[in-house]
Every structure is written in C-alpha cells, then in structure tokens.
Structure 1
Amino acid sequence: HQFEKVEMVTICTPEAALAEHERMTKCAEAVLERLGLPYRTIVLCTGDMGFGAQKTHDLEVWLPGQNTFREISSVSTCGQFQARRMNARYRPARSENGGGKPEFVATLNGSGLAVGRCLIAVLENGQEADGSVTLPSALVSYLGGKTRITAEGVLV
C-alpha cells in the first residue's frame, strides 16, 4: 500500500545515539500532543524490529472507529549498522588519548507521522454526536480561525 509520511533522520556519534533516539521520539509525540490525540508509545521486541535496528519505539494513535490503537510513527536507532554498510565515518577531535582516528557514525530514522492515518485520527477523535468534527486548536491558525467541520462538510 502507498501512504505519505514525514521522515526524520539523524546522524550522530555512537555515544549520543540513545539520547537522540529519545529526542526524536519526543518530537513525534509532541505533534500528537499538540493535536490532542490519544496515543501510546511502545518499545518493540527484537522479533518485531527491522533488520538493522537496535531499538525501536512505535507510536500508536487511538482510532475510535476501529476501537484500537494503530501505528502512526516508528523511530529506530540503527547504531553503526547502516554507517558500516555505506562507510560513513567522522573524525573526532584530538584528545590526550590520541583521538583523531576516523570512527563510524550512528544513524537513526523515524517516521514523523503517517499523514493519512493522522488525518483519520483527527477526524475520528474530534467527531461530535451531531456528526460535526471539532478540530484541534493547534490547527485553527492554519484554517483561518475555523474550528469545526459541520456534518455537511463545511468548515466553520
């Protein structure tokens, strides 16, 4: 299947990789929080992770129409796995211990949010009993001050 998403990529030192993984996860969580969407963050077991991943967080958003959580973002640290395959290195600053010898970088990647699924979550979680949809306040400034979609599909 085909879908649109925003991708996040980081290249950093191996020592900074785990902290960067947490930062990237928090970036995706911040978007869901600003949209007021219920979500959960899970740590995948090794059997569910991609081949080169060392650690993966999946963010799942609540979809009332399906009565379940569905993945909307996945953030992985791949350590030096991808860097070794593409021979991506950096040269650390010289220190008392020598330093300056090229070392492999660490790579991390994640989907910012799956756009279509995010739209579905906004519509389903904002739906009112009369069929209208209350839009997240974070979107109002982008919609010319409009706050709702009527049951007839009119933005008001």
Structure 2
Amino acid sequence: MKQKISWIMVCSLLLSLLIPGAGYAAKSDDIIKTALKYRGAPYVFGAPMKYAPRAFDCSSFTKYVFARNGIKLPRTASAQSKRGKYIPTSRLKKGDLLFFRVPGRGIGHVGIYAGGNRMIHTYGKGGVKVSKINGYWRSHYLGAKRVI
C-alpha cells in the first residue's frame, strides 16, 4: 500500500511539473465543489465560526471552505484581502477570492470566483448562492487575490 501511495505522489508531482497549473486546477475545482455543497445555508451578518456549516457570513464562508481544502485564511474579508497574490480581472481563475466595497466599511464582502463571470458567496436572502458579477457587484468590485 505504501508503494502505491508513493507512486501516486511521484506521478502527481511529475504531472504538476510537466503541466503548469495542473495542481492549481485540481485544488480550485475542489474548492468550488466544497463551496457548492453549502448552497442555501443561511446568511447571518457577523456569523461566528461556531455557526458553520449551518450558517455563514461572507468571510466565515470563505474561511470555512478554504480550510476544508487545507488553506488557512483569517476571519474577516479585510484580513483575507491581505493574503495571497493580487490577480488582475483579466486573469481570474476559479478559486480566486474576490473583494468588494461595502459603503461605509471599505472591504466588506468576499466571494469565490466560480468562472464564467460568476461567484459563490453568501449575502442576504437565500444565503450561500452563485451570483453573476454584474450590476451592484461589478460597481463595488475592488480586486482579487489568489491564495491557492
């Protein structure tokens, strides 16, 4: 069994070296799958981590989803925005964190880029959902970070 695991690890490492981004694509797909499992979970402003996965606010949601995939994030959207590498909008990939301005609070919202100009996030009625990044969200968009 140990030989099989070692062989799989070697093959995975070689694949990630030969195909740039192969490891990122797999991890980002896992993050999207994890996030979608919680679709419909209620939104609660300021929800503490102890509410997860029964309810979330935007940053407890991203913190929880990324933690389930081995990536530690701080608790707030503002603190999360200080992690990772800045990504221009033209280079967004699934799994990137998206940050938005909330009037009177600066960086006050975070979501996960899902591809196709969509994000998975939680905000208001309906809780965790997939939304198009247009209208309100486009006009309040501040930037993106890659933490994978």
TM over 0.5: no
Bin of the TM-score, shorter chain as denominator length: under 0.3
Of Structure 1 and Structure 2, the greater helix share is in 2
TM-score (normalised: structure 1): 0.25
Q: TM-score, normalised by structure 2?
A: 0.26
User: Which is strand-richer, 1 or 2?
Assistant: 1
